[in-house]
Amino acid sequence: MSPQNKKTFLQGRLSPLLLAFHSSLNAFKASLSLVNLTILSDYQNSLSCEQTLSLWDKHLDIYKNTITQTFESQRLFLKGVQVYETAPRSLTPKMPPPLWTKGSAGLFDFGVKYSVTKRAVPVLFIPSLINRSYIFDLYEEKGFFAFLARHNIRPYLFDWGDQEKDKQTLSLENYLKNRLLPALHFLVQHTKKPVHIAGYCMGGLFATALRSLAPGLARSLSLFATPWDFHQGNATPLMMQNIADWIKGTLPKDQRIPGDFLQLFFHALSPFSIQKKFQDLGLCHQKKSLLPPSYIALEDWLNDTVSLSSHVFHECCTKWYQQNEPYHREIVAGVNLQKEKTSSPAYLVTPTKDRLVPLKAAQGILSLMPHADVLAPPTGHVGIFGSRRASEMVWQPYCAWLKHLH
């Protein structure tokens, strides 16, 4: 059963590993000025004494200003982290009772939580394997699932559960065929009709493979901010090869990679934007601006990390980021997706401001399903569920598309 069944109090924090990483970035910025001064000294022999002094004075002022700005940047960053960590917390969203379980994975009927009729449109939502599933229900009555319920759509959530409690070491293919597929079979038997399948981020890859495995059980496929062409992102194949080699040569297959390490990996893909986020938070505090509770809830979700087996992480590094299997070979978790090239309904939400999954990376799947309807909202990766305008930009169009199918 998922650990999210209990309504617990979230202790917001930024990992010490991430604090050290971002502090080092600030130190690196300052060191660039020292490098410039060192380079300058190489040219001083070709200048007169007066010219050299003038040049040094000019660059010394630049260096002093850079150091001052660096320390101010670090101060704002740490203040932003402090504001986040000491902000008032709300409770984590309450999960309904599990409808089905296998290992630590579970299937949850949010139609029970939000009193949706059983005649409503059933949709199975699949989250990322490396994030908590409650992103869909983050704001409860004001959240995505509650919005769907008000529009006569019954959300079912597949939760990966506490992967550390699974006794066997699962591969990507195991997760698909031994967890997701049985859950889908159960759900279709439970609803007595095919269901719509939707996946978020990494969950969208599993959702696509799942529909290929059981096309007769899926009414449609919807993908939210799902990476497909992995070579369009910031992670280069060489970088991922080095990480994969290190994991394979250092860690046993059943070794868990802590969530803080995984989070550091994603921070490293876009470090300065994340640093700026907390610096802006520090500025807000200086201006005595109030933080909306939604901001804190979203940051808590981002920092509520999940560990992953070294075997699965190695598979993701090699098969996705390095070999780019979904895009080049049209294979996900061992499933050949050629049969997806049909006219069956598909809906893509590809945010235009997504730093984690760039637009070209998400829309790479159009080579596999050129018939898909595409929505490209001006929001970020988590903004499709967590921003103030998400209901207007994403949720309403998605509901309209689903209803159009019925």
CATH of the domain at 218: 3.40.50.1820
**How high is the pLDDT of residue 126?**
98
Residues spanned by the domain of 30: 16-86
The tally of domains found in the chain comes to 2
Question: Are both 121 and 229 inside the same structural domain?
Answer: yes
Question: Are both 72 and 106 inside the same structural domain?
Answer: no
> Along the 406 residues of the chain, how does pLDDT read in single tens digits?
444 433 333 445 556 556 665 566 555 555 555 555 444 454 445 555 566 566 666 666 766 777 777 778 788 888 888 888 888 877 778 899 999 999 889 999 999 999 999 889 999 999 999 889 999 998 888 899 999 999 999 999 999 988 777 766 678 999 999 999 999 999 999 999 999 999 999 999 999 999 999 989 999 999 999 999 999 876 666 667 777 777 667 767 677 787 877 777 777 777 777 778 888 888 887 777 777 777 888 888 888 878 888 888 889 888 998 899 999 989 999 898 876 566 689 999 999 999 889 999 999 999 899 999 999 999 999 999 988 899 999 999 999 999 999 7
Question: Are both 324 and 177 inside the same structural domain?
Answer: yes
Question: Are both 76 and 141 inside the same structural domain?
Answer: no
Is 271 among the domain residues?
Answer: no
Is 205 among the domain residues?
Answer: yes
Question: Are both 138 and 79 inside the same structural domain?
Answer: no
Q: Are 358 and 352 in contact (CB under 8 A)?
A: no
Question: Are both 122 and 82 inside the same structural domain?
Answer: no
CA distances from 366 to 13, 227, 295, 330, 340 (A): 38, 12, 33, 12, 11
Question: Are both 312 and 197 inside the same structural domain?
Answer: yes
Please provide residue 269's backbone torsions phi and psi, each rounded to the nearest 5 degrees. -75, -25
Question: Are both 224 and 356 inside the same structural domain?
Answer: yes
Is 37 among the domain residues?
Answer: yes
Question: Are both 221 and 109 inside the same structural domain?
Answer: yes
Is 268 among the domain residues?
Answer: no
Question: Are both 108 and 224 inside the same structural domain?
Answer: yes
Question: Are both 71 and 129 inside the same structural domain?
Answer: no
